[in-house]
Structure 1
């Protein structure tokens, strides 16, 4: 699509009208033509506002054009695919799927001292000299944004999908949510490549973040700790219309894959705006590392004046040929370095110390302080982490303290600069919520109330119903809040006594949603043993440990008996269970409060004995999966392999025997498979056929 200019014939570009003829006076053809002009004009104004930072119309004029386009599309039932109006958000999703990136989204080596940057420069020059590179070494310098990294893919100039970074290989599918971010173009401009996968950083502007947090507090909700957390939570919403209402923006800064090549990072940075991709204007190309260090110091001085959070700068070897010669390690490119800023430090006065109780019973002391500005954010509370830190710092109410944002994120109290009296805050010996005894575990403290502690119950119930536990659909955070507020449940055991009639009476519920939840609970009465163990929320016992416990003990009765007997040695005999985890398991089952809830749970739930292994038919064989398999999750496919003696790994190597290629598979693993002469299996059908050769049934 050619870029629009002011002198075009489109009437909605320069000094556009905001008064329109009634829609009933338009023919379908006239409405279609006007809508097409409005779409192009809105895209143009988006580009001028978000990319060029030079809008040519006011907000009210833009809103009038946008509203008219929405009206035309609605009244005349026009095709809205690719329309700017789709930013308002689509239908809620059941869950965020997974997407394999077209290329790895790697991390960057980092350091916070000038000598770290100089050492990076020495490594670069030494490796390039060894590779007979005879060009000059210049660095492209850009701010290191403190947001959420995403991959965005365009094909033939059209927006296709977006994903979070995830583990670098696979991320969460946030296509519909990113579609609502106004600074992400739905269609590229100018002479764009046929295929383009770009990397960007989604963030929440500071001013918008401050207003958003104010609204949360006024609504009685906890504020987000920082703009990054707010952006991450917003982007992972299951309802895109929620994302659309929150103030997100994006900077693009890298190419993961493209059908064109670039000579330098600076050339890429110049090309992005031509395609409609927004970039940061605080970049520079410098000739040596000392100039790069000066650039970093300049950004450090300017950081508090920016409308977005940065926690350092990124230095990249500018020449792409040099970057190719330098290559990458398994986790990071050798041609890039993150030169971090020091954490901010400020002073304020502690007015109170409150002790919060988490889902696992861990007690976390929090200092409530006089408000202090830290990096554009007003901080009124900071973590004291645990009683040992309080004793070490000697902090008490009334003390003047220094705080910092650890990792430039969570405020911590790091030093007492002026004492108000003698001693330090005395940590409570009983839980401030349920009055159960507090036990110390090294530097930390825990409430022994367990499943019976009201402070833990909401998160305990949410955890019980979570995907890794019993996977009870319909029992999310809001649903659990409703049940607790209505007095229908006190703990997980009460869930099984819920009726359709009493659920249907709750605000926002209906008979259908009530029946669905009751059905889900009925389906969760015979859970797999490992899932049930996860659901109990035993401290330090996650998915892997629960699987190992299930495999070792076989039945819940055996696990319970060992717990009641305090048989720590039996638990320590389980793979990956050490003395600390064994002690945590025993303490959980020895708690009277936990046992009371557990006994009532077992009146409703019958954890199934662990499945025996399927033998060793696949022993010595290694499988890797990419893409999605029809009707079969990747986790289930990996379980089949492992139950029958095989190995399921995440990356292709010379030791891989089979690569199972499902739908929407990434290209990299296929290329690695070809390079290592690994046999490709076509989706679920190919996977099942191969297992059949070894006498293994997927079901």
Structure 2
């Protein structure tokens, strides 16, 4: 047990009536800073390692903030102060450093006979032994070095001889002490960084809400986090560590049990499931008992380890090129199919559809680790009876998409879809078996898709904002609603990866031109559910933008092709407070709109296009002709008046037109007869 610091006023019932900064000398500040650092390190130990805090969170925060203030005001910041755990400047790359002593992997097997053969070999070579036994953590191995009790560096295992210096990242982990209590002058320890299961599921939940791919399992999440070049990202993620081996030490240690005792006494976190046995049968029994517990543990393990307890006998046995000959890992078989549902969350897709997703304890299915499964819709969840805490059988549908096949063991409660969007709080509407967020352009979960749609050619026609650019703009925080498109600057854009000055100028030019769009394109760009290009044009013909915003459901239903469901969707869109705010910003950027003026020059003319017409897409021609009264269809019939034949026309339409004796116009004839009259 780490000794409680003596004569430190900030350990128990700390006095928070601090002296005024202006009344303090630098010597006064230094003395208080030392007490605060010592106290905060001790409180971190009690909270994160012993799980036995003696002060409240607000009191801890007050002490921490006082320390940060004194360090800043008196220039007393030190590298290993508790205040330096919060991150720091991003790194360009990791430096490669050698280990104090090589970090070998373990020989392992799932076969009990292999374990017994290991024991026979050990006893044959060094006689009677006892084994120190412990869980085998499924995390990320690191060497942590302390010099004179202070954190010096942390290095990934790498190739066993050297690894990446990840000191800045590891220092952000609260269970890694920055100062040790009565530690040896030199101490190099091996530890396993892991992500607690609860933290893993919370992290994946956040990633899913943001439209990002979740991590496959806690080990990948921990490894990916430690390899981040930005320590601030590491500081935000839930990581912890267990220490379990001494690589080098200036103090003599004779057994593995003494190793654990020393580590605990100086404040390093040791797993409490370690034990000592004399017979290999006891180790095998231990493995079977721990395997039963694995699902209930807050950390992932994939087996147990037996190590010869006596250090001298270890030296006598030596090592191979890859692993020590005095240790063996008895692995668990992979978890197949059956696993536990940690939590059912609701993911909002780019179209606004709400989909229930089960976050699972990671399970191996046909060689692939699965940590989530889609539940499709509320009906399926209720039919299966899936709830938080259920034990379920999972399959990979078509060997690709993980799905829950059945509930093996039910848990209490029942799932139901939320009435409001879990991301933006907008109302949720039910359409058949599915639920949709009504937030539209204001919903962050739909933002990347909304931005792409808003900028598409048929909408605001802002060329260059595809999926990749849209994602970059959103992830960099430059776009929080589609209205932010009109606030982008050249400096914003050129700072984006692979976005040069020319690209920035081109995009800004496109944005500027989009301010001159027509009402139909603007309505379509809003991405209202059930309102495609044709319905947007219909709305623009019958309403100005202001009239549309204020239109009642009954008014909308009177328009041809706008039934109750579509009208309700339009009505809800313009009553959503978040949408109103975004819409007002858009109107400030592009102005108000009047009704679309529709000509009647070609009223009653029915035409079909085949092939391409120079300067126009098929959609643009259709829109242009219909805006002036023509009826453009996709197939030739007895009612067709003209077939316009462009470049590379389809033979079927030409043959049908000739068969029905329909007038066929070349591009030049079409321009003379129609286009020149309206352009």
TM-score range, shorter chain: 0.5 to 0.7
Q: State whether residues 217 and 371 of structure 2, in contact with CA within 8 Å, keep that contact through their aligned partners in structure 1.
A: no
Q: State whether residues 369 and 380 of structure 1, in contact with CA within 8 Å, keep that contact through their aligned partners in structure 2.
A: no
Structure 1 counterpart of 2:432 = none
1:5 aligns with 2:4: yes
1:52 aligns with 2:50: yes
Structure 2 counterpart of 1:145 = 137
Structure 2 counterpart of 1:597 = none
Residue from 333, 347, 352 that aligns with 1:342: 333
Structure 1 counterpart of 2:305 = 314
Q: Secondary structure at the match of 1:374?
A: strand
Residue from 160, 182, 185 that aligns with 2:152: 160
Q: How does 1:33-112 map to 2 (within 5 A)?
A: 33-112=31-110
Q: How does 1:523-672 map to 2 (within 5 A)?
A: none
Q: Secondary structure at the match of 1:345?
A: coil
1:614-659 deviations in whole A, cap 9, x for unaligned?
Answer: xxxxxxxxxxxxxxxxxxxxxxxxxxxxxxxxxxxxxxxxxxxxxx
1:576-625 deviations in whole A, cap 9, x for unaligned?
Answer: xxxxxxxxxxxxxxxxxxxxxxxxxxxxxxxxxxxxxxxxxxxxxxxxxx
Q: Secondary structure at the match of 1:331?
A: coil
Instruction: Give 1:308 deviation, angstroms.
Output: 0.9
TM-score of the superposition, structure 1-length normalised?
Answer: 0.52
Instruction: Give 1:87 deviation, angstroms.
Output: 0.5
Q: Which whole-Å CA distance do the structure 1 matches of 2:285 and 2:322 have between them?
A: 28
1:400-445 deviations in whole A, cap 9, x for unaligned?
Answer: 995489xxxx999799999xxxxxxxxxxxxxxxxxxxxxxxxxxx
Instruction: Give 1:31 deviation, angstroms.
Output: 2.2
Q: State whether residues 348 and 371 of structure 1, in contact with CA within 8 Å, keep that contact through their aligned partners in structure 2.
A: no
Alpha carbons of 1:123 and 1:508: their partners in 2 closer, same or farther (altered >3 Å)? Answer: farther
Q: How does 1:163-174 map to 2 (within 5 A)?
A: 163-174=155-166
Q: State whether residues 131 and 276 of structure 2, in contact with CA within 8 Å, keep that contact through their aligned partners in structure 1.
A: yes
Q: Which whole-Å CA distance do the structure 1 matches of 2:69 and 2:86 have between them?
A: 14
Structure 1: any 5+ residue segments left out of the alignment? 129-133, 350-367, 383-397, 419-478, 488-501, 522-699
Alpha carbons of 1:369 and 1:267: their partners in 2 closer, same or farther (altered >3 Å)? Answer: same
1:518-543 deviations in whole A, cap 9, x for unaligned?
Answer: 69x9xxxxxxxxxxxxxxxxxxxxxx
Structure 1 counterpart of 2:268 = 277
Q: Secondary structure at the match of 1:181?
A: coil
Q: How does 1:453-468 map to 2 (within 5 A)?
A: none
Instruction: Give 1:373 deviation, angstroms.
Output: 4.2
Alpha carbons of 1:280 and 1:508: their partners in 2 closer, same or farther (altered >3 Å)? Answer: farther
Q: Which whole-Å CA distance do the structure 2 matches of 1:486 and 1:48 have between them?
A: 42
Q: Which whole-Å CA distance do the structure 2 matches of 1:485 and 1:51 have between them?
A: 40
Residue from 231, 236, 257 that aligns with 1:240: 231
Q: Which whole-Å CA distance do the structure 2 matches of 1:53 and 1:156 have between them?
A: 26
Q: Which whole-Å CA distance do the structure 1 matches of 2:496 and 2:372 have between them?
A: 41
Alpha carbons of 1:79 and 1:342: their partners in 2 closer, same or farther (altered >3 Å)? Answer: same
Q: Which whole-Å CA distance do the structure 2 matches of 1:328 and 1:404 have between them?
A: 42
Structure 2 counterpart of 1:325 = 316
Q: Which whole-Å CA distance do the structure 1 matches of 2:205 and 2:499 have between them?
A: 34
Q: Which whole-Å CA distance do the structure 1 matches of 2:497 and 2:24 have between them?
A: 47
Q: How does 1:386-401 map to 2 (within 5 A)?
A: none
1:285-311 deviations in whole A, cap 9, x for unaligned?
Answer: 001100011111111111122111111
Instruction: Give 1:51 deviation, angstroms.
Output: 3.2
Q: State whether residues 482 and 506 of structure 1, in contact with CA within 8 Å, keep that contact through their aligned partners in structure 2.
A: no
Q: Which whole-Å CA distance do the structure 2 matches of 1:322 and 1:348 have between them?
A: 41
Instruction: Give 1:372 deviation, angstroms.
Output: 7.2
Alpha carbons of 1:411 and 1:284: their partners in 2 closer, same or farther (altered >3 Å)? Answer: farther
Q: State whether residues 64 and 83 of structure 2, in contact with CA within 8 Å, keep that contact through their aligned partners in structure 1.
A: yes
Structure 2: any 5+ residue segments left out of the alignment? 341-354, 364-368, 375-383, 387-391, 408-464, 474-484, 504-679
Q: Secondary structure at the match of 2:132?
A: strand
Greater Cα radius of gyration, structure 1 or 2: 2
